[in-house]
Amino acid sequence: GCDGGSSSNNNGGGTSGTVSDAYVKGANVWIDKNDNDVWDNDELNTTTNEYGQFTFNKAISGEIKAVGGIDTATGDVVTDTFV
């Protein structure tokens, strides 16, 4: 496991944030509407860029979670779920 987390900003027109454990690129980020810690096909999702950043192009409600990706500091695959 690794320490890390995610942060977000909901400015009314969209939501953006960063998944960090260093930076995590290629992580799946989703709005976990049913709070089951698993991305379901009906939940809005996106992927982080090389700086761990993500954007949803509309305002969202619900908990943002992220899983997977590559730790850019170590090159290791990340298997943890970030909340």
How many whole angstroms separate alpha carbon 45 and alpha carbon 27?
10
* pTM across the whole model: 0.76
Q: What is the mean pLDDT of residues 27-53?
A: 94
Average pLDDT score, the chain: 84
pLDDT tens digits, 8-24: 555 556 778 887 667 99
Contacts for 5-10 with beta carbons within 8 Å, 24 or more apart?
Answer: 5/82, 5/83, 6/64, 6/65, 6/66, 6/82, 6/83, 8/64, 10/59, 10/60
Residue 15: per-residue pLDDT: 79
Residues 57-76: pLDDT tens digits?
Answer: 888 888 999 999 999 999 99
Separation of alpha carbons 28 and 8, rounded Å: 15
* Alpha carbon distance 29, 81 (integer Å): 10
